[in-house]
Structure 1
Amino acid sequence: MNCCRTSPNPSWVFPTVNLCCFGFFSMMKPSEPFVVPYLAGPDKNISLSMITNEIFPIWTYSYLVLLLPVFILTDYVRYKPVIILQGISLIITWLLLVFGQGVKAMQVLEFFYGMVSATEVAYYAYIYSVVSPEHYQKVSSYCRSITLVAYTAASVLAQLLVSLASLSYFYLNVISLVSVSVAFLLSLFLPMPKKSMFFHAKPGKEVRKPPNKNAASDAPYKVNTAGGGEKPTSEIPTISGNLDGGPSSGPMPRNVALSVFVQWFQDLKECYSSKRLFYWSLWWAFSTAGFNQVLNYVQILWDYKAPSQNSTIYNGAVEAIATFGGALAACTAGCVKVNWDLLGELALALFSAADAGSLLLMHYTTNIWVCYAGFVIFKSSYMLLITIAAFQIAVNLSVERYALVFGINTFIALAIQTGMTVAVVGTQGLGLPVSVQFLIYGSYFSVIAGIFLMRSIYIIYSAKCGKEKCRSTTGQNPSEPENSMSDMNTVTQF
């Protein structure tokens, strides 16, 4: 059987169903909510301090080192081989969890789990190479929804098996190993794409924009001009320009790989020149770094507050509720109509403050249920904001540029998270206990909230002053219609 054959079938249904099945089984891992109790329990007998300071940081380091090479390789080899690599890495990770012993084996495990995280980009990018643009939104929602459903179902199943059937954590890992093995087998049957976004793009292809590019904001998108002012995008070239590997501003080198890298640099320079996109990306990077850090160490905090050997734990139920709450929050974000140009950064400030408050609550409380509730609030508010941020960044970007900006934002987030891990968690840094770490994380989100609160005050004040100045220069009352010279010029142009 040729696993890398190119499918002649242009239909979007088969690859979508296959990819969704792969996503379901790759996320159907009931052992994940109970990883720390498993490692600290009689099966592995590793202390919490060793898990915190010597094992879990390896995931952050390996993810950072692997992300950019895998991001480039993913497009070059056209996605499917990297999805297969993700399946292999998942199997190795759970084989080590089931059969491995000692700190060194767990560190190798964390390296391969970093590989799993780095190769996730192929799962979300694959679909854009095998379906037509009119199906992008629908297929993307299917792929993302199925992973949330799988993770929630796995968490509920784990909690039921532990609480009602008193099943050992070891067997949860066996179930997870079977599930990821099925995911690997499914990856072999994915059709091999004929093209990719960058290295194997079709010459002269049309620029592919998100189908709902105007859905995220009612106000016109603005970018800074050379004169320091702002102008609507209707008067300038959009950010979703040529990304087909052809020339955009001057001749490109003949070497295909060099052409792609030069094009990436030009695209990133143009994208981040927009202040609005820059600040949303900045929040994305800093908040994702903090979110990943909290997610990586929250089970250790729970075990510190309520040791799993001495009390009944409900990690699976809490993970399921938090994921479901995050999914509801993400759906709510798509239904609420807000002028994000004016109030977007205020929302970033307020919900970042909620994240900070929930983390500080988790630090100071001695009640495990309050700690659980803080995590549900934290994860739900983050997933709400990251959904809004994704729309705001993607609103005027082509699919290719969105993938590029997403990759760079993720890499910056990992670099920040690595610095945090080295300084706060690692033995070469402060090596703080987990309870103190969450005080640092809460303070970190407080700083993010403060920065964006000041930005939002400035934006709202500038908008108010701009309206008052416009009314004073035109000599009109607020209730009177404005017939300024700029409006006349606009009419003349039409």
Structure 2
Amino acid sequence: MEVQDGSGGLRSRALLPRCLKLTPRGRCWVLPTVVLCAYGFFANLRPSEPFLTPYLLGPDKNLTETQVFNEIYPVWTYSYLVLLFPVFLATDYLRYKPIILLQGLSLIVTWFMLLYAKGLLAIQFLEFFYGVVTATEIAYYSYIYSIVDIALYQKVTSYCRSAALVGYTVGSVSGQVLVSVAGWSLFSLNVVSLTSVSVAFAMAWFLPMPQKSLFFHHRSSPQGQKVDIVKVIKELWKDFLQCYSSQPLLCWSVWWALSTCGYFQIINYVQGLWELVQPSQNSEIYNGGVEAVSTLLGAVAVFIVGHIKASWTTWGEIALALFSLFIAGSVYIMDTVRNIWVCYASYVIFRIIYMLLITIATFQIATNLSVERYALVFGINTFIALALQSLLTFIVVDSKGLGLDIFTQFMIYAGYFAAISAVFLISGTYSIVKNYRRRGEMTEEAVASIA
């Protein structure tokens, strides 16, 4: 096949360098994918993150447990919830790149404040900026869809997610090594994290600006024509009603929202549990190593489940009930057995099971969904999860609510996942019995028609 060059001549597409070959849309996909993956790697390479709670409770910030757990950490949850929907719309309207730059800048502000900010109010502002970071993650994961052809979606998605995963793992391992082997201070780890996210912010500027987006700019329009935001929101509402009218999608979405709420809550406060079980001021801690191991083993579980053939339509709810019960058990053991190695092991099991189930749920929800609806459904599920988490945080954690201690909190989280298990066990059993009755009736009708 031949293409027209700038001078009107012809040259063979086969003569183009491999890295510059074009997608069916006529754009080079390799360069933006490489830059985005590099951004994701450095943005997640934060060796200090597994040691955040010991850092805040230690001599660098000298905050109390009540301040950290009941007054500071809840700010992230509330900020994430409030920012998610407007950021979701702004990401598409501004065509991704400005929001990625905002995320990079927010990462820099977060870690700069983590190094130099003092006092309760300043650290609460820090948590707000980290809420901006997490809310803007949608730009990172959806940017590439506006650049490449649909045939490449699966490939580039795996590249981007793998880059972020590798960055997080490398950061956790390097943090543990620098603390345990090299004897670095937690302050020094935060300097490394600030350097890494600064590199990520610099790399984001090299991303090409997309010409289209999934909702606001998905069709070419005359120059200067304004986008009808009301029309877009009406279309989103119509898609929302159509998507959630599907019972299987609704079932998996309910589990997604409920379990993600509990998952966010546990990973947000698990360092506090570890700190109370074995204070970092008195002994060696291995938070970074545990995070790295749980991430890697979770990735292996996700890879394996992708090759397992199972009738998720029939047995999916029972599987969700069973594994949710395992999660409840791991959280209960984490809370009641006051041994740091048991806590670490239980946390690894918890993360592996969650990552395995969320992968299955993601696949089941994404089946038969267009890319536009994929983004919408997962955005709504995350919003519901955050709304539930905010409610749970306000009642259980926030000093304005019950303000419970960490051990009591984790006992409630174990009960929360046990309740999820019970709900899906009842629902799954009902669905299976209903399906078998329907099959029996169909068989009887077939026999009667033959007779």
Identity %, equivalent residues: 55
Q: Partner residue of 1:394?
A: 366
How many aligned residue pairs are there?
Answer: 422
TM-score (norm 2): 0.92
1:269 aligns with 2:220: no
Q: Which has the larger helix fraction? A: 2
Query: Of 151, 154, 164, which aligns to 1:147?
Result: 164
- Secondary structure (helix, strand or coil) at the match of 2:306 reads helix
* 1:94 partner amino acid: W
* 1:266 partner amino acid: K
Q: Partner residue of 1:360?
A: 332
Q: Partner residue of 1:404?
A: 376
Mapped partners of 1:366, 1:255: distance in 2: 57
- Secondary structure (helix, strand or coil) at the match of 1:117 reads helix
Q: Give the deviation of 1:474 after TM superposition.
A: 1.4
* 1:20 partner amino acid: C
1:188 aligns with 2:244: no
Mapped partners of 1:369, 1:296: distance in 2: 19
* 1:92 partner amino acid: V
Q: Give the deviation of 1:153 after TM superposition.
A: 0.9
* 2:69 partner amino acid: T
1:167 aligns with 2:193: no
1:121 aligns with 2:138: yes
Query: Of 392, 397, 400, which aligns to 1:425?
Result: 397
**How does 1:225-240 map onto structure 2 within 5 Å?**
none
Query: Of 345, 352, 355, which aligns to 1:380?
Result: 352
Q: Partner residue of 1:29?
A: 46
1:109 aligns with 2:126: yes
Task: For residues 127-147 of structure 1, give each alpha carbon's deviation from its aligned partner in whole angstroms, at most 9, with x where no partner exists.
Answer: 000001111000000000111
- Secondary structure (helix, strand or coil) at the match of 1:174 reads helix
Q: Which runs of 4+ in 1 moved over 6 A?
A: none
1:309 aligns with 2:260: no
Q: Give the deviation of 1:472 after TM superposition.
A: 1.6
Q: Partner residue of 1:76?
A: 93
Mapped partners of 1:326, 1:116: distance in 2: 23
Mapped partners of 1:260, 1:443: distance in 2: 41
- Secondary structure (helix, strand or coil) at the match of 1:55 reads helix
Q: Give the deviation of 1:332 after TM superposition.
A: 1.5
Mapped partners of 1:203, 1:262: distance in 2: 20
**How does 1:281-292 map onto structure 2 within 5 Å?**
281-292=253-264
- Secondary structure (helix, strand or coil) at the match of 2:217 reads coil
Mapped partners of 2:302, 2:243: distance in 1: 25
Task: For residues 105-130 of structure 1, give each alpha carbon's deviation from its aligned partner in whole angstroms, at most 9, with x where no partner exists.
Answer: 11010000000000000000100000
Q: Give the deviation of 1:255 after TM superposition.
A: 6.6
Task: For residues 233-264 of structure 1, give each alpha carbon's deviation from its aligned partner in whole angstroms, at most 9, with x where no partner exists.
Answer: xxxxxxxxxxxxxxxxxxxxx97211111101
**How does 1:33-48 map onto structure 2 within 5 Å?**
33-48=50-65
1:201 aligns with 2:201: no
Q: Partner residue of 1:344?
A: 316
Mapped partners of 1:391, 1:80: distance in 2: 27
Task: For residues 214-241 of structure 1, give each alpha carbon's deviation from its aligned partner in whole angstroms, at most 9, with x where no partner exists.
Answer: xxxxxxxxxxxxxxxxxxxxxxxxxxxx
- Secondary structure (helix, strand or coil) at the match of 1:193 reads coil
Mapped partners of 1:36, 1:255: distance in 2: 45
Q: Partner residue of 1:260?
A: 232
1:457 aligns with 2:429: yes
Mapped partners of 1:91, 1:401: distance in 2: 32
Mapped partners of 2:229, 2:280: distance in 1: 52
* 2:189 partner amino acid: L
Mapped partners of 2:227, 2:127: distance in 1: 37
* 1:37 partner amino acid: P
Mapped partners of 1:332, 1:472: distance in 2: 40
Structure 2, unmatched stretches of 5+, are 1-24
Mapped partners of 1:121, 1:353: distance in 2: 30
Mapped partners of 2:342, 2:390: distance in 1: 29
Mapped partners of 1:255, 1:27: distance in 2: 34
Mapped partners of 1:58, 1:126: distance in 2: 28
Task: Decide which moves more: 33-42 or 17-26.
Answer: 33-42
* 1:293 partner amino acid: Q
Q: Partner residue of 2:10?
A: none
Q: Give the deviation of 1:311 after TM superposition.
A: 1.1
Q: Give the deviation of 1:203 after TM superposition.
A: 5.5
Task: Decide which moves more: 41-50 or 284-293.
Answer: 41-50
**How does 1:234-253 map onto structure 2 within 5 Å?**
none
* 2:390 partner amino acid: T
Q: Give the deviation of 1:460 after TM superposition.
A: 1.4
Task: For residues 407-459 of structure 1, give each alpha carbon's deviation from its aligned partner in whole angstroms, at most 9, with x where no partner exists.
Answer: 11110000000000000000111000001100000000000000001111112
1:437 aligns with 2:399: no
Mapped partners of 2:26, 2:433: distance in 1: 56
1:177 aligns with 2:149: no
Q: Partner residue of 1:54?
A: 71
Q: Give the deviation of 1:328 after TM superposition.
A: 1.1
Contact 2:216 2:227 in 1 (8 A): no
Q: Partner residue of 1:226?
A: none
Q: Give the deviation of 1:9 after TM superposition.
A: 7.2
Mapped partners of 2:389, 2:293: distance in 1: 26
